[in-house]
Amino acid sequence: MKILVCIAQAPDTTAKIAFTDNNTRFNEQGVTYIINPYDEWYALVRALELKEAGTASEIHLVTVGNAGAEAVMRKALALGGDQAFRINAESHDTFMVADQIAAFAKDKDYDLILTGKESIDYNNASVGATIAGALDYNYIGFATSLNVDGTTVTVKREIEGGEETDTAPLPMVISCQKGMAEARIPNMRGIMAARTKPLNVVEPVAANALTEIVSYEMPPAKTGVKLFTVDQMDELVEALHSQAKVI
């Protein structure tokens, strides 16, 4: 079984966020990029577990991005991926990214494509489903458990108020979240091996972005907590009516 793991790079969660060009561009000055945690901790590690169990024979990694994304791909290779592919395009549009990955995967006979449930910068949670639609693969999202038996997968996923268990035939796309696997750290042997593993650059296909970023803005600053004593119930009720906001 061949597995393709989709990798996105995202700003480190400790990065200071700022915008330029009249708040239309993310300021990358001094920002360190990491593998999107949902892609690394859950999608990639579960793929590695399947290979270690003898279920999968090969794990490929793919990302859409410029040359700056190669550092995170090397880390993904160090964790245990066999080959990496960088589609030489840059876009913040979900549909364009998914179309590029689908076009790349179309003739590669991947049995299973794994993504994280979402990226931590844009939180769209739609790349996996869009890839599945473009390839006409089955799709299950927000999975917490994945087992493969021959050409059938059994997947557990969270739903409102509980958990759902699904079975479906391969090939398919699955987006992964917490519970799927435990995070790993690359060891020295993996880091050294990653230096010689293939990191291939693939030219993009023609694809139009369906969305564009008009502007960014920071969330409003948190305000202080307003306290009421037990003998201030009238004031509390008035504040709830006049000041409280429903989110």
pLDDT (tens digit, 9 = 90+) per residue, 97-118?
A: 999 999 999 999 999 999 999 9
30-36, Cβ contacts within 8 angstroms, sequence gap of 24 or more = 33/9, 33/68, 33/69, 33/71, 33/72, 34/9, 34/10, 34/72, 35/7, 35/8, 35/9, 35/10, 35/72, 35/75, 35/76, 36/7, 36/8, 36/9, 36/10, 36/116, 36/119, 36/120, 36/121
Specify the pLDDT at position 118. Answer: 95
Q: pLDDT digits over 25-57, tens only? A: 888 888 899 999 999 999 999 999 999 999 999
Averaged pLDDT score across all residues of the chain: 92
Domain ranges of the chain: 2-216
Q: Quick one: pLDDT band at residue 247, thresholds 50, 70, 90?
A: low
Specify the pLDDT at position 189. Answer: 86
Specify the pLDDT at position 196. Answer: 87
Note the CATH number of domain 2-216: 3.40.50.620
